[in-house]
Structure 1
Amino acid sequence: MNLLLAAIYVAFTAAVLLTVWRVIVGPSILDRAVAADVLLTLVICVLGADMAINHHTRSLPLLLIVAAVGVFGSIAIARFVARRDGGPR
């Protein structure tokens, strides 16, 4: 069980570091937006894994808030890029 937890921690840490690198480097705003969505998805996965491993649901409200922030953030970025590129208003 401890080996499995260590593997989970290593996998999530590597994924978070690579995603943060993509947020920093870019090169475009859409690359950063996708990386931010991936980062929020990783946070949701970590919270879900914590709930499954420790047999609790205390993190469920936080999980729902993070999911809502991800959806609304993606919509806001899509609208910003569409307006900047001369799309529908």
Structure 2
Amino acid sequence: MSGYGGRRTQAERDAMTVEIGYALVSAVFAAALALGAVAGPAALFELPDPAEWLLPRAGLALAGLLFVVRAVSVLLRFPSGGRGGVQPSQPGRTSPDS
């Protein structure tokens, strides 16, 4: 009995936990890549003072934004009840009305 206001099964709760974990891990990975790509040159090379000041801050801002966007986009794709997770009534068919 899932969907709107009903109790969720253990399988639905497990699927939700996995999806949240995936959203967080993939968001951290994307944010770390963005931070490394933007702020990395300031850490590795001798750059002018404005660039050494700006690149780490820009990298942190981009990483934070990318983390939020990635986590939200993954979680919004996850079906949260209704007909999103309903299987077709007949095997091999794409929908119950086929």
TM-score (norm 2): 0.41
The structure that has the greater radius of gyration is 2
Q: RCO greater where, 1 or 2, for CA within 8 Å and sep 6 or more?
A: 2
Higher helix proportion = 1
TM-score (norm 1): 0.44
